[in-house]
Amino acid sequence: MTIKKRAFIAGVYEHPRREISDRSIAQVHAEVALGALADAGLSLSDVDAYFCDSTAGFGPLSMVEYLGLHPRHVDSTETGGSSYVVHVGHAAAAIAAGQCQVALLTLAGLPRSGRMRGGPAGGGPESSFEAMWGMAGAVTSYALAAQRHMFEFGTTSAQLAEVKVAASLHAQHNPRAFLQTPITVEEVLASPMISSPLHRDDCCVVTDGGGACVVVSPEVARDLPRRSVTILGHAETVKHADNGRIDIVSTGARTTGPLAMAEAGVSPGDIDYASIYDSFTITVIETLEDLGFCEKGQGGRFVLDGNLVAPHGKLPFNTDGGGLCNNHPSNRGGMTKVIEAVRQLRGEAHPAVQVPDCEIALAHGTGGSIGTRHGSSTVILGREDA
């Protein structure tokens, strides 16, 4: 069963604050839920499906009671930063199967305020083997992947820095971005080394925040007052170390990109705008290659010459500033990727970064670590009248 044009994103909302010390995680979930529903022209009483991660108590078990919902479909799939791109695909599949009509997806996190929630109790089965070697933190694993990419393909730190530069050029137009000042390649390279070869400015920001979107059936979308965005294709996967046969210069996007594009009936050349998960600059380089925007090993060269810079770059990306500059709440940046893709398709991005005649957008999430195990998910979105 295909989900192509069987479901629509009718509403999105991103929490305006990046430091939220006076709210609970449940309150942030509620605020973004009401914002997305208002954007769609719907109310809590219209919702019959609910999706969230594990950051609030028992996830959907806690939040449906808090929000006063009575869903007939719930989902708490947890794949880290790709979770909410996965949720969009699952919501579309549930709607296509007739299990629901209006799905509400909410994200909330308060890591900057020091109130991180969620995650598995205790370590995973890999912990005792990896933590003792310094692989417990995300940056070390991504740095390992970056070092290998440099060794195999000649990628340079300056090329990685171009990703941050592009994000910062976009963030200057976003008054809510955590970092709003444009930065140069030289400044990225001069920032402190965190884990070689990754500098501080190769790493995403840590923010409080949240976001939500509302996925609806075609029948509901037809009666709403504003233009919706159609879901054209979706795919998800988990990539891991494969009992030691590990390939850290590629990501799960190598699987999800072609599958999602095939369902949508598009190719990389058809994509007008891309929201690419940017936990680190190397994440973007590898993902661009694996999605098919350039050959493997050519990601560092692809991002040169302003190719990622909106509105006229070869592939404008992360026009809100992305996780590198704008917002990265609770390590679940996939939601913000979907939100900015919807803005672009609606023509609601900031005028300085709005892609002209944007008809097809891609949003991709990466959760976990490209140096060990991670979830990948890709969704292809289209303008309703395209």
pLDDT of 64-84, one tens digit each?
999 999 999 999 999 999 999
- Which residue's entry shows tokens 């944007």? 358
| 140: in domain | no
Q: What is the pTM of this model?
A: 0.94
| 127: in domain | no
CATH assignment at residue 86 = 3.40.47.10
| 189: in domain | no
pLDDT score, position 243 = 74
pLDDT score, position 129 = 62
Contact 277, 337 (CB under 8 A): yes
Tens-digit pLDDT profile for residues 126-141: 666 666 666 666 899 9
pLDDT in tens, the chain (386 residues): 899 999 999 999 999 999 999 999 999 999 999 999 999 999 999 999 999 987 777 889 999 999 999 999 999 999 999 999 999 999 999 999 999 999 999 999 999 987 555 444 445 666 666 666 666 668 999 999 999 999 999 999 999 999 999 999 999 999 999 999 999 999 999 999 999 999 999 999 999 999 999 999 999 999 998 889 999 999 999 998 887 778 999 999 999 999 999 999 999 999 999 999 999 999 999 999 999 999 999 999 999 999 999 999 999 999 999 999 999 987 788 999 999 999 999 999 999 999 999 999 999 999 998 988 899 999 999 997 65
| 215: in domain | yes
C-alpha R_g of the chain: 19
Q: Hey, is 317 helix, strand or coil?
A: strand
Q: Hey, is 328 helix, strand or coil?
A: coil
Domain count, the chain: 1
User: What are the tokens at 163?
Assistant: 């990703």
- Which residue's entry shows tokens 């195990």? 373
d(CA 376, CA 67): 29
pLDDT score, position 57 = 75
| 190: in domain | no
| 52: in domain | yes
| 181: in domain | no
Contact 342, 12 (CB under 8 A): yes
| 227: in domain | yes
DSSP symbols for 184-201: -HHHHHHSPEEETTEEGG
Task: Give the domain range for residue 301.
Answer: 8-116+203-383
DSSP code, position 226: S
pLDDT score, position 56 = 73
Peptide bond into 197 cis (omega under 30): yes
DSSP symbols for 58-122: TTHHHHHHHHT---SEEE----GGGHHHHHHHHHHHHHHTTS-SEEEEEEEEBTTTTB---S-SS
User: What are the tokens at 331?
Assistant: 């390590």
